[in-house]
Structure 1
Amino acid sequence: MNRRVTKLIFTLAFFGVSLGSNFAQTTYQIPPKEIADLVNSPSTPSVVFNKSGDWMLLLERAGNPSIEDLAQPELRIAGLRLNPATSGPSRTRSVENLKVKMTAGGEEIQIKGLPAKPKMDGFSLSRDEKYLAFTQTESTGISLWVVDMSTFQARQLTENILNDVMGGSLIWTPEHEIIIRATNPARGEIPKAPAAPSGPIVQESSGNAAPNRTYQDLLANPHDEALFAYFMDSQLMVVNLDGSKKPIGPSGMIKSMDLSPDGSYLVVETIKKPFSYLVPASRFPYDVDIWTKTGQKVKTLAQIPLDENRPTGFDATVAGPRNINWRADQPATLYWVEAQDGGDAKVEIAEREIIYTLKAPFSGEKQKLTSTAYRFGGIAWSDDTFAIFSERWSRTRMDRKSVINPSDPKQAPRVFIDRSSDDIYNDPGDPVVTVNELGQRVVLRKNDLVFMTSEGGSSEGSMPYLSTFDTQTKEEKILWRSQAPYYERVVKVLDDEATAFITLKESTDIQPNYWLVNTRKRIAPIQVTDFAHPYESIKGIQKQLVTYERNDGLNLSAVVYTPAGYDPAKDGTLPVLMWAYPREYKSAEIAAQVRGSKYAFTRLSWGSPIYWVTRGYAIMDQTEMPIVGEGEEEPNDYFIEQLVANAEAAIDKIVGMGIGDRMRIGVGGHSYGAFMTANLLSHTNLFAAGIARSGAYNRTLTPFGFQYEQRTYWEAPEVYFNMSPFSFAHKVETPILLIHGEADNNSGTFPIQSERYYNALKGHGATTRLVFLPHESHGYAAKESILHTLWEMDTWLEKYVKNKNKLEEKK
């Protein structure tokens, strides 16, 4: 039995939970055919463009894995989930076929010589795009492959030697060599678990505050430590196109590697002891070294300590260097940020963060580039006279962008965007990037004009656009915009004037496809791809973006789906499934903004509520559930009141449209949406039934913050109590279905959250059902699990929502 499952069962037994009454095995079930057929629809290929946009890679992904695949041995340590047989991740959705498609002319070319049983990933083009590298996962390991893009022929370069435990296991040099992170050939046999423990497991605090969020899959004992060290043990190697290889630098627990733009130096991060039982591997101590590309150590840039004692709050960070990266506009210049407040956002300080640079050969002193009174949000480089510097502050949702002159650090940053990150109506978007002579992505601009792409939020919904933004005058000029009845956005700009570009165009019933647009030549757009509609059975369903008001005047919105041909005047009311996810805002005006597009393609994911439009339901999807706290008020101080008001307004809207039957409305959500669902059923009798997937229901189990709540339990105990559905389990009178992945690794949503909530509901006589999905994480992956989840949901909705009246008649 899995060690973690054993621990869970022991815990439940310790707390007096009767396993016999709560755990019952059933076989996997399949939902009605109209739902199952949609789940089994073919997936659409992913697309990756080359630099010029002349051609694209078509990545055809495998379908959902089987439960047998998910049940393969998995090692859960240090916040990671590994396949011990491959030294790679245990949960990936790989690519099973690879093609090239020409943008002009549309010719499609099948890559030849692919692995016999393809499980491909990690695709990376060489700088001159003459070769494509990728990894292939077999049952015993991960190998390196390469495609000659002149012949479109693939071939294997190495045996199963790659170490992909932390991703990023390959990188091209300018000379057509590939640097890989391989498993250390000298690491020996996997450590064996001791027959008996050598002693107790001890943790000790010396009095320093060490608040941490709740993490899953942490190290638990010395054997876990030995396993982590074993699977992290790596050796960098350089592989030539003839398959020859040689080691570079010393072996170690290599966390990451990054090659300078000119290919001369490597930044290598190596984890070291002591490990931690409180935080995941991403917060273990590590050294940051600069190597030559042949492996000679040039400098230790930083020695990052164990990050166990980070202050609380979402604007908190680590002390010391972080975000160490290469400047994209320079051959070999590093930049990074250092917090001056010890990482504590509560400290009042004018210069909170300083950004430094250090140029090759790295023998000089670090140079100050710029600073911020907030948190560093990144730099988009252009050249030595122009870069875009981003600052952020989560507490107030502040998002600020400034132009800096890297060649003159004394020149003050010039702010050109200062907005709330939640404000979609006034979001000019993100800079368009191009590739410079170093093969790096840099900002596309003309002097002070920066080319931008934006989602184009508006009161009519999203209408994406391409623009120029003058960083001096702050004037925006829209060059092109999506037009109704389509949802279309620019995905690749092809020239320096942004007059030729590729868009992804879709509509409610039109599958997204790529189009070639040229505004200068004024010729009609040319369709590049012709991906088939994957959901023939729901063509014609009706979709509308509706708006309405909350009782305090706040504007809300939702996307409503109804069956094809449905007319409320003729066909009467329908049962309703309302699906939502609450979001916190610091401004009522911004919370009222319309989000989403009524023209977007109806794409189904495994967790979508839209399946039930085929079963005769009306669906309220993306139902806005804003929780607003302006000024000094925190949104969660009024969570329940606003949540109920949101639900009441949504119900009044769907009923007022003549679509929904007020007595037959179900509500559901995943993760924080599950938390929302349980709260609505605790404090109202508005709904016929609820569905809560993979939620957290007792906030005292996440005492150092959750979602956007930055206060701890001890700072706001009444908020934690009042927001916990567990506190009000005795009030639930509405049937509620709980579903949870048995291997959920999401912070805060431990499976025991559903287990304890179910027992609280059951103990107070509520109508409830708890379903644990074996081997599933926070999101569900196996086809059997997904089909069974949909069967559970359909059975629940049919019994307690659609046929609620018949059920009451029987009573």
Structure 2
Amino acid sequence: MKRFVSCVAPVLFLSIFVFSLVANAQGINNSELREGYLTPPESIAEEVLAPRHQNVSLSDNDISPNGEYFVNTIEASQMSPLSYYAKPYYNLAGLQIDHLGNRNRRMTTGATVGLELINSRTGAVTSIETPENARITDPTWSPDGSSLAYFAHFEDATHIYVANLGNEDGLQRVTNRPVLATLNSSIEWSDDGRFIFTVTVPENRGIEPVKPSTPNTIQVRKTTTDENRLRTYQSLLKNRNEGDLLEYYVTGQLIRIDLRNEEIRKIGKPAMIQTVDPSPDNDYLIVRSMQKPFSYIVPYYRFGWTEQIWDMDGNMVTELRTSEVDTGIPDHDEVTDQGREDIKWRPDGQGLSLIITPDDENEDEEDGGDTNNDEEADKEKDKEEKLYKIAQWLPPFGEDDLQILYETKDEMESVSYNEDADIYFVREDDDTEHVYAIFAGEADTTFTIYKHEEDDFYNDPGNLVYIPGSGRNIVYTTGDESQVYLRGTQYHENYSEAAPQPFLDRVAIRSGEKERVFQSSSDVYEEVTALLDEEASNLVIERQSSSMHPDFWLYDSASENRTKLTNNVDYNEAVTQARRDRFKVKRADGFEFWVEVTLPSDWDGSPLPGLIWHYPREYDDQEDYNEGIRDYNKNDFPGIYRRSTEILVKRGYAVIDADWPIAAERGSSNEAFVWSIVQNSTAVIDSAANRGYIDRDRLAIGGHSYGAFGTANAMIHTSFFKAGIAGDGNYNRTLTPMGFQREPNDLWRGLDKYLEMSPIFWADRLDGALLMYHGEADQNVGTWPIHSKRMFHALNGIGKTAAMYMYPHEAHGPASEETLLDLWTRWSNWMDHYVKNLGEHVTEAELNAAEE
């Protein structure tokens, strides 16, 4: 048997010691009991390890503002090795910090090692030189598209490098001190491309706070006076020392780098900076900073903050908005915004744009005082129209510097601009989405771009197209600024037969007249990725079908010719092109839903052992379900990923991907959970068996997260399944007492439902062999690793057949190469033993022979 050797081979400690005694007696192959990382059969490994990372995906987020190039990241491998995830880090209130590198942990675990440019018109590839032994993230174009800045992450530091596309001088590192990329992890260019703004490790920072060897504090918690339905967050600050650590690692120095001479200017004092947005004239910044006090009951992203305008010396000019700690108290408004919304710099450099909302203070106050005057007061109130206003706020941002540009009684959601900011594009959304334009100096006249009823799904007009890379939400207009573009998708009522058709329309602003520039064909799914010029004469589109791997093409609007730009490869062809059948099934209650079965390419018509992979989803009724699947695309290419269970067709299984509706009136869906699990299973199995796809006596069910919860319930409340695979699940709803999914009641108001749905309370009824896997570092709300540990303890104690695999350093879903290969080994062995071979003993020699 060929073995695939991983980059790192640490020892995996699996909590199966007690189980191993029982397992050996039952004849499970010994490889299931090994504590080291395993590698699966070659037929599986080649699909998991397929070099899909070598394919190119182009996006309008990656195109240069001048439309010449896409930047593409180069990955070293399909998956990062476990050693990346095993590097030490702090988890402080849910913020994972690589404290050795002073950055967010995600920057350490990534596998990007380089960058390349792809010409948007020819597809020609140009490499960008990057520093050796560094991982690369966050490539960011300069406003004119002539330069590209990016983070280079070394073992103990992160720095910013700039690649000047017309400069052959090589690498240019522009930071003299390490970047602090913990809270603020973006690179901000000035609009003229002269400056870069970032946050660095402060000078004279000192050593990190040291945890005392003998505790000098205790945990003190006190309930709030109001009901507080917080979710069960796992990684919260435990004590004052962790709070000090968090403050230490998120406090940084805001700086401005002059790229002409690499001069560094410090802006203000070190602060806990979250976001930075420089004004187009380079005189001011909008800075949002996290504020103390910290909280022990919510994660860091719910801590308080303040948003201010600073000058370039770091002096606060004015405060825009503040927020208290969001502790989850219902109807408590933590944000104080002085009636200001949608605050942003105008693209013409003339101060701020904002929407001023009516003052609703006292609107909901209880009646009081002299009731004889109520009628008169109401009449007086009606005279006072509540108006929403678009305002321009000029420096120095005092009360007298505010100018009202437009006002309406209708509620405005947002306002955007053209490049010169002399056309305003307003969006209102109150059941009817209305987007209209206003020309500066013509505030009495509005020009409708589109009006759309939210429930009119099949006549969606699309959305405004914005200039990529500007960071200013600048609306893309034609050269004479008389027309705009709408990008959307046309869906069809017979969605199972007619595929969606993306389109691009050009709309005359003043007349509303539309012209269709592009529409996807019906037999191939074609989607506009980017406009390359103001007249949309050249577009980049992505093309795919159920049998054609996605690739990117240059589309000529005049000739309608398509020229291929990329040459992506289907590295999983044996699985993507396997036999598939999609059909509708009906439950006993008449509810209908869809199922897709994937079969081996060489299937001979004999019933196969099968796996149902599912994820329960709540729906109000049949109509609600039907509305949720209207965007089905029969021309979608069946992409294969690291945990795609369709890979098991190469081991002779029928893999069933089934919708799993939990249908009941909103607020009571969980009352139908167990019943739906039984009915869904029955309908899927009966239909697949009647078509000859599966052997109903050799079936397994599996799922991840809520799907793991569904798997355990299915094995408890039915006798259909010989085995189950459950990943990162919750098995005891009493540990999430304030609600879960769409459950509106807390534990005490919904005790019967909590108990009925919790597999651990019915573990003695579990039928079949349950494999559970869980990441030891799972941070997901509601699926703490303790769930799997306690469920395994219960199953072991009552003599059920089960195994549990706890994976070091993994979060809510395995990610490292070693873990995924090990997981697939245990999946396939478990399925072979309990499903394909119905629990009969299979020797190592027999397994090797079958694989060959």
TM superposition score category, shorter chain reference = 0.7 to 0.9
What is aligned with 2:7? Answer: none
2:278 maps to 1:259 = yes
Select 1:601's aligned residue among 637, 659, 664: 637
Counterparts of 1:505-654 in structure 2, within 5 Å, are 505-522=543-560, 524-538=561-575, 540-568=577-605, 572-592=606-626, 593=629, 596-621=632-657, 623-630=658-665, 634-654=668-688
Counterparts of 1:487-498 in structure 2, within 5 Å, are 487-496=525-534, 498=536
Counterparts of 1:144-183 in structure 2, within 5 Å, are 144-151=160-167, 153-159=170-176, 161-173=178-190, 174-183=192-201
Kept in 2: contact 1:546–1:558 (CA 8 A): yes
Report the TM-score when normalising by structure 1: 0.85
What is aligned with 1:67? Answer: 82
Select 2:288's aligned residue among 269, 274, 282: 269
CA distance in 2, matches of 1:766, 1:411: 73
Higher alpha-carbon deviation: 176-185 or 138-147? 176-185
The 3 A distance-change label for structure 1 pair 563 and 399 is: farther
Q: How many residues align?
A: 772
CA distance in 2, matches of 1:200, 1:70: 31
CA distance in 2, matches of 1:497, 1:673: 48
Deviation at 1:228, TM superposition (A): 0.4
Deviation at 1:20, TM superposition (A): 6.9
Deviation at 1:488, TM superposition (A): 2.7
Aligned residue for 2:454, secondary structure, equals: strand
Deviation at 1:246, TM superposition (A): 2.0
What is aligned with 1:689? Answer: 723
Select 1:235's aligned residue among 247, 253, 259: 253
Q: Partner letter of residue 741 of structure 2?
A: Q
2:247 maps to 1:225 = no
CA distance in 2, matches of 1:674, 1:150: 53
What is aligned with 1:700? Answer: 734
What is aligned with 2:102? Answer: 87
CA distance in 2, matches of 1:337, 1:37: 58
Select 1:98's aligned residue among 102, 115, 120: 115
CA distance in 2, matches of 1:339, 1:757: 53
CA distance in 1, matches of 2:175, 2:829: 50
Kept in 1: contact 2:157–2:179 (CA 8 A): yes
What is aligned with 2:701? Answer: 667
The 3 A distance-change label for structure 1 pair 779 and 428 is: farther
Higher alpha-carbon deviation: 714-723 or 662-671? 714-723
The 3 A distance-change label for structure 1 pair 73 and 62 is: same
Aligned residue for 2:467, secondary structure, equals: strand
2:200 maps to 1:186 = no
CA distance in 2, matches of 1:426, 1:305: 42
Deviation at 1:296, TM superposition (A): 3.2
CA deviations on 1:41-80 (whole Å, 9 max, x unpaired) are 2112443222343321121123222222211111010111
Kept in 1: contact 2:611–2:699 (CA 8 A): yes
Report percent identity of matched pairs.
28
Kept in 1: contact 2:189–2:197 (CA 8 A): yes
Deviation at 1:716, TM superposition (A): 3.1
The 3 A distance-change label for structure 1 pair 255 and 103 is: closer
Aligned residue for 2:308, secondary structure, equals: strand
Deviation at 1:494, TM superposition (A): 3.0
Deviation at 1:243, TM superposition (A): 3.2
Kept in 1: contact 2:464–2:475 (CA 8 A): no
Aligned residue for 1:98, secondary structure, equals: strand
Kept in 1: contact 2:705–2:729 (CA 8 A): yes
What is aligned with 1:12? Answer: none
What is aligned with 2:834? Answer: 800
Deviation at 1:224, TM superposition (A): 0.2
The 3 A distance-change label for structure 1 pair 436 and 676 is: closer
Select 2:68's aligned residue among 54, 57, 60: 54
Deviation at 1:493, TM superposition (A): 2.5
CA deviations on 1:727-769 (whole Å, 9 max, x unpaired) are 3222211221111100001111111121222223333332211
CA deviations on 1:336-395 (whole Å, 9 max, x unpaired) are 7989899xx9x99x9999888562322127789889999x97666556654353658xxx
The 3 A distance-change label for structure 1 pair 443 and 687 is: farther
Higher alpha-carbon deviation: 555-564 or 118-127? 555-564
Counterparts of 1:190-589 in structure 2, within 5 Å, are 190-241=208-259, 242-311=261-330, 318-321=334-337, 325-326=343-344, 331=349, 332-335=351-354, 359-361=393-395, 362-364=397-399, 386-389=424-427, 391=429, 400=433, 403=436, 416-419=451-454, 428-434=461-467, 440-442=473-475, 451-454=486-489, 456=491, 458-460=495-497, 462-468=499-505, 480-483=518-521, 485-496=523-534, 498=536, 500-522=538-560, 524-538=561-575, 540-568=577-605, 572-589=606-623
The 3 A distance-change label for structure 1 pair 453 and 615 is: same
Kept in 1: contact 2:464–2:484 (CA 8 A): no
Higher alpha-carbon deviation: 540-549 or 524-533? 540-549
Aligned residue for 1:589, secondary structure, equals: helix
Q: Which has the larger radius of gyration?
A: 2
Q: Partner letter of residue 194 of structure 1?
A: P
What is aligned with 2:147? Answer: 131
The 3 A distance-change label for structure 1 pair 89 and 353 is: farther
Aligned residue for 1:274, secondary structure, equals: coil
Q: Partner letter of residue 673 of structure 1?
A: G
Kept in 1: contact 2:72–2:117 (CA 8 A): yes
Q: Partner letter of residue 291 of structure 2?
A: K
Kept in 1: contact 2:447–2:511 (CA 8 A): no
RMSD: 3.9
Q: Partner letter of residue 603 of structure 1?
A: G
Larger RCO of the pair (alpha carbons < 8 Å, separation 6+):
2
What is aligned with 2:125? Answer: 108
What is aligned with 1:5? Answer: none
Q: Partner letter of residue 620 of structure 1?
A: I
Q: Partner letter of residue 787 of structure 1?
A: L
Unaligned residue ranges in structure 1 (runs of 5+) = 1-8, 10-17, 393-397
Deviation at 1:220, TM superposition (A): 0.3
Kept in 1: contact 2:97–2:182 (CA 8 A): yes
CA distance in 2, matches of 1:658, 1:151: 65
Kept in 2: contact 1:400–1:419 (CA 8 A): yes
More strand by share: 1
Report the TM-score when normalising by structure 2: 0.82
Aligned residue for 2:777, secondary structure, equals: coil
The 3 A distance-change label for structure 1 pair 614 and 636 is: same
2:158 maps to 1:142 = yes
The 3 A distance-change label for structure 1 pair 297 and 528 is: same
Kept in 2: contact 1:544–1:559 (CA 8 A): yes
Higher alpha-carbon deviation: 54-63 or 21-30? 21-30
The 3 A distance-change label for structure 1 pair 130 and 610 is: same
Kept in 1: contact 2:217–2:240 (CA 8 A): no
